[in-house]
Structure 1
Amino acid sequence: MAEAKNPDAIALLKTDHRTVEELFEKFESAKGADRKQKLANQICLELTVHMELEETIFYPACEGKIEEDLLKEGYVEHDTGKVLIAEIEAGGPDEEFYDTKVHVLSEIIEHHVEEEEKRGEGMFAQARKADIDLQALGEQMAARKEELVAQYKKRGLPLPETTTFTQAKVA
């Protein structure tokens, strides 16, 4: 019973994936600038929280235990997503490329999800086989997610990032 309330890290991340996929589908069929803006803002919030959870909790726990290239690819895909999130957040549905930016973000995220969830060889499959306490990570991530969502709903998303994760690693 406790597991249903506190999913392991991978179950939590997969739930986030499904939520964002549904939001992207709603955006694609949405009519009206207000509706599109509301959906785009929700997409940006969900992705910002999700990426922070992966970058600060899940990926570090996987370092040295899964293929390094998968982790690096995950970070780079996040960086690409963050650039588009910043542009979407700074813009509005009346801008010429707004819908296109949301669409391209959905394609990047779709590829990212595929890499993480790929059966047998993806990041999640490798993490399940590794010596990682996914239950404890899930609990930590669920608690942090609550904090982040509350913080971002109160104060708004962080200022658009101009330095990506991979740039920061080099500095």
Structure 2
Amino acid sequence: MRKRNLDAIDLLDGDHLAVHALLLSWRELLRTSATPLQRRSLAEEICLELAIHAKLQEELFHPAMQEALRDPQLAEAADALHARQRECIAQVLCTAAEDALHEVRMRQLAECFEQHVLSQRELVFNRARAAWLDLQSLGRSITARRDELRAEPDALRDDALGFARP
């Protein structure tokens, strides 16, 4: 049986579902009073997945959308959401899990993420399908770039920390 190649939208929405599941797991760790180390480890995994997802969109998906649609407002809205998300990621990574602020910052990150997902599903993905982009080819590019990014988690973490506000 041959493995089906997922298109760009399937891959990006798959990221959304995976991060949502991780956020549910993080909430469960809070509910069960897990150790700070457990909460911190999962929070860092969530931040890494979101950083990868944002890079994939910024480097590959959004440029393809911009070229196809020539809609600067779409790019501006996506950039604004990603900037807020990057700040949230940096704040989470800069806060010790023992600090009460860590939970607040994780909740802010989850809220930002949910806004992003809603925006993508309601506005962007439908327009991408209607634009007749080569979503299969874009999906292959996203898969290859994701593999590259996952091979460099320390570089991603350092990049994310660069967005921390003093």
- The TM-score normalised by the length of structure 2 is 0.88
Q: What does residue 134 of structure 1 align with?
A: 135
Matches within 5 A, 1:14-53: 14-30=13-29, 31-53=34-56
2:124 aligned with 1:123? yes
Amino acid at match of 1:13: L
Give the Cα separation in 1 of the matches to 2:111 and 2:93: 18
3-state SS of 2:151 partner? helix
Q: CA deviation at 1:151?
A: 1.1
Count of residues in Structure 1 that have an aligned counterpart in Structure 2:
158
Q: Going by fraction, where is helix more abundant, 1 or 2?
A: 2
Q: What does residue 78 of structure 1 align with?
A: 82
Any stretches of 5+ residues in structure 2 without a counterpart?
none
- Using the TM superposition, name which of 57-66 and 135-144 deviates more: 57-66
**8 Å CA contact 1:82, 1:161 repeated in 2:** no
**8 Å CA contact 2:8, 2:138 repeated in 1:** yes
**8 Å CA contact 2:51, 2:156 repeated in 1:** no
Q: Which consecutive segments of 4 or more residues in structure 1 shift more than 4 A?
A: none
3-state SS of 1:131 partner? coil
Give the Cα separation in 2 of the matches to 1:76 and 1:2: 39
Any stretches of 5+ residues in structure 1 without a counterpart?
164-171
Q: CA deviation at 1:64?
A: 4.4
Give the Cα separation in 2 of the matches to 1:32 and 1:73: 37
Alpha-carbon spacing, 1:70–1:2, altered in 2? closer, same or farther (3 Å): farther
Q: CA deviation at 1:106?
A: 0.5
Alpha-carbon spacing, 1:143–1:64, altered in 2? closer, same or farther (3 Å): closer
% identical aligned pairs: 30
Amino acid at match of 2:51: T
2:158 aligned with 1:158? yes
Q: What does residue 167 of structure 1 align with?
A: none
